[in-house]
Amino acid sequence: MVLAQILLNGVLLGGLYGLMALGMALVWGVLNIVNLSHGALIMLGGYVTYYLFTLAGIDPFVALPIAMVIMFCFGFALQWGVLNLIVRSKMLNTLLITFGLQVVLTFTAQLLFTADFRTINPTYAGNNFPVGGLTVSVVRLAAFLVAIALASILWFVLNRLPLGRAIRATAQNLTAARLYGVNPRVLYAVTFGIGTALAGAAGGLYGMISNLTPYIGASLTAKSFVIAIIGGLSNPFYVIFGGIFVGIAESLTALYIGPTYTDVISFGLLVVVLVVRPSRAVRAA
């Protein structure tokens, strides 16, 4: 029964992990930018949801769409004004500028929000309910369902709407997309805005199950990178499955080895994937 509970917790946590990586996978696949500031965007989304809850009194799950709109606008402006300058540039240039953004956003958040630990703590945060002898956290289950819903919406946008077809066409063949009237500058900004909105949603959910500080960005970027490699960049559901895989692996590691080794297993999985199937990383890059 303990093992079943651990597996359940891993699945629910993995859904949130997958949502964290969705935005990175989208930006990486379309813009060919490994966004090292992705974790900082998740962190900012968490603070937006936190202040909508504490200052405006908006329930965190109701605040998520508002936070996503705010983060979309921020991501659109960031891409339009800064990152469009180095789109399709050498990988080193994109890594350097996004790392710089990570540093700037982290220390700006420290100035604005201080380094105190903060948690989004609605009245139902500690609620659980039993299912077949297992205990299910209301917040973790809701976060998992939100992650699945957003992945489904992203899949629908990419595969059924003209915007999604334009995004996929630009990712596959930029020259052909331009011949069909696609404006890459606008499309890149919209794509980055969507990725930032997804990061904002992940940040709001993360703040309900863990602590928010300005310094969580680097670790969340690294975890998102691992999941994007494992799940691939082609399908949002593969990214979610990659997150679930990592979540289960971390939960089993915490049970049998110790909670301090969970990050070790995450990066160990990345090493295994790169050794067994190095072509996966080549396709992603």
At 115, list the tokens: 């380094």
pTM above 0.75, yes or no: yes
Residue positions counted in the chain: 285
Domain boundaries, the chain: 2-284
Angle, alpha carbons 231-236-242 (nearest 5°):
25
pLDDT in tens, the chain (285 residues): 789 999 999 999 999 999 999 999 999 988 888 899 999 999 999 999 999 999 999 999 999 999 999 999 999 999 999 998 887 778 888 999 999 999 999 999 999 999 999 999 999 999 999 998 899 999 999 999 999 999 999 999 999 999 999 998 888 888 888 887 889 899 999 999 999 999 999 999 999 999 999 999 999 999 999 999 888 888 999 999 999 999 999 999 998 898 888 888 878 877 777 777 665 554 555
Going by C-alpha positions, the residue among 144, 121, 122, 109 that lies closest to residue 20 is 144
CATH 3.40.50 fits 2-284, yes or no: no
**Burial class of residue 237 in the structure, from the number of CB atoms within 10 Å of its CB (0-12 exposed, 13-18 middle, 19+ buried):** middle
